[in-house]
Structure 1
Amino acid sequence: MSIDHAPETATAAASGSNATQRFTSDKQFAASTSPERVSTLARQVLSAVHDTIREHGVTYDEYNALKAWLINVGQDGEWPLFLDVWVEHVIEEVASESREGSKGTIEGPYYVPAAPELGHDAVLPTREGEQGTPLLFQGRVTDTSGQGLGGAVIEIWHADSDGFYSQFAPGIPEWNLRGTVTSDADGHFRIRTMRPAPYQIPTDGACGKLISAAGWHPWRPAHLHLKVAASGHQQITTQLYFPGDAHNDDDVADAVKPELILDPRDVDGGQEVTYDFVLDSTTSAQKA
């Protein structure tokens, strides 16, 4: 049975607005940052902008075009998209540089907390006739010594075969391809879902105008999003990618790392892949 997906009605403005609303409602802001820290960072960012203007002789026409574009980013609700695509990978790099264990990468703009809890042997919610290749994703969560971590919480979400995420595009059930999985006593988990497809970030808004003007491409390789957490251990936020994707080497978000490439194998009617997560302790973070 075929199903109707919604690529013809999804827009950058709608997706950006949803991402902005999610960010403002779900995220907690670091209000404890000192004025000295704010001043240092703000002055250095502005200094870099000033240096760029001087070095490249930016004209008033170019400056006004930039102002208009920045206004459009806000009007389109695309600040979460812009920052998550072009800035977050460096924030993640700095934040995780002293952490041992599995590699992380960016969260992206499409995370939604409190997805349905599905146990350790899970089937992600899907529509009847959900398109794509069935995928069994399984593995184990351990500490850095190899000890299994029972009760680890694995949040997983990903796009559908058209590259759209539930709660950010119309016509998709609320929790489609999203779930919360808890590892068994020895740290094992199994998740049945559909293999996601590569997709373009929204191009009908301000971010798309930047991509077009700069001659870039808007593609992200196919990936699974995950957050993995266990008591007494540092949470990992990551994305896992599939071999052979045309954009693993030039991801628009620059979020692919060699350690995050999966090794799926074909099975009857689909694919299966095993990937283990190793979590560093919170005491390691405190020492760092």
Structure 2
Amino acid sequence: MTTEIQATAAASGANATERFRENKKTAASSSQERVNLLASRVIKAINDTVLEEKVTYDEYNAFKAWLIQVGEDGEWPLFLDVWVEHSVEQVANENRAGTKGSIEGPYYVPNSPRLESPATLPMRENEQGTPLLLQGSITNLAGEPLPGATVEIWHADDEGFYSQFAPGLPEWNLRATVAADAEGRYMINTMQPAPYQIPTDGSCGRLIAAAGWHAWRPAHLHLKISAPGYQLITSQLYFKGDEHVGDDIASAVKPELILDPTPRTDNRGREVSYDFVLDPE
């Protein structure tokens, strides 16, 4: 039986690419003038780099071969989500007054099982890691609770793998959509995820090795918070003391999103509170 430890970048990339095709609108919605502006800026930036850094034909051909391989590996979602999405997210959420956003990343899957708070995420009987209770409230900018709010949550396991993107994991492992109670409060029992390296056996890994970078993301929880009449916010929560909160390869960490869990009074793992504030539509 194939296990999660035998996951490959190619398989993960293929899954991410297929999910993107299923879930995202890929038709351009911008005007011809906008496409012209953006495409021209990107092409100019590449050409400026070539001229300023005196790029050789050997380097050019290596770059071309790498671009081809990224597509063959299915790693364009990974590449873009790691190195570009944080800037797109910054633009998208720059006018919000509520909770800070962060990147979605390539491993989101919609329509996860819906649970009522207090909830325990689907997990294996012997799920490894430290139990974590995440709880808090969901309010509007005035501090009023939002009944009907939901917390969509997904994260990696203790080995750094995501269900539906690595073999051997149950379909909805550590994924759910949790409905807050009538007072806009939520309680979610899960396992604290581990830091992990993005897949390094494919094209992105070859870039990382060639540039002498590291491939680590700090441990994090992915979340989408929504309520009727309010803007959905996609975010991530990180953990104080993690070695890579200061040098996340995806540049997605924000100080406002760092958790500081404490031991539970019943000695059953750790707990932390985090309140979400939503902007009106």
Deviation at residue 7 of structure 1 after TM alignment:
4.5
Task: Describe the superposition over 1:75-107 as per-residue Cα deviations: whole angstroms up to 9, x where unpaired.
Answer: 100000000000000000011111111101000
Match of 2:243 in 1: 246
Deviation at residue 30 of structure 1 after TM alignment:
5.2
Aligned pairs for 1:144-223 within 5 A? 144-223=141-220
Q: Is the 8 A contact 2:4 2:168 kept in 1?
A: no
Match of 2:276 in 1: 277
Task: Describe the superposition over 1:24-69 as per-residue Cα deviations: whole angstroms up to 9, x where unpaired.
Answer: 0011235321111101100000000010000000000000000000
Give the structure-2-normalised TM-score.
Answer: 0.97
Aligned pairs for 1:50-199 within 5 A? 50-199=47-196
The secondary structure found in structure 2 opposite 1:118 is: strand
Match of 1:286 in 2: none
Deviation at residue 5 of structure 1 after TM alignment:
9.4
**Amino acid corresponding to residue 74 of structure 1 in structure 2:** G
Q: Is the 8 A contact 1:5 1:172 kept in 2?
A: no
The secondary structure found in structure 1 opposite 2:38 is: helix
Q: Is the 8 A contact 1:141 1:152 kept in 2?
A: yes
The count of aligned residue pairs is 279
Deviation at residue 120 of structure 1 after TM alignment:
1.8
**Amino acid corresponding to residue 32 of structure 2 in structure 1:** P
Structure 2 unaligned spans of 5+: none
**Amino acid corresponding to residue 236 of structure 2 in structure 1:** Q
Match of 1:8 in 2: 5
Identity across matched positions, percent: 66
Q: Does residue 228 of structure 2 align to residue 231 of structure 1?
A: yes
Q: Is the 8 A contact 1:196 1:222 kept in 2?
A: yes
Distance in 2 separating the partners of 1:30 and 1:257: 31
Distance in 2 separating the partners of 1:138 and 1:168: 27
Moved over 3 A (4+): 4-8
Give the structure-1-normalised TM-score.
Answer: 0.95
**Amino acid corresponding to residue 62 of structure 1 in structure 2:** E
Structure 1 unaligned spans of 5+: 283-288
Match of 1:49 in 2: 46
The secondary structure found in structure 2 opposite 1:52 is: helix
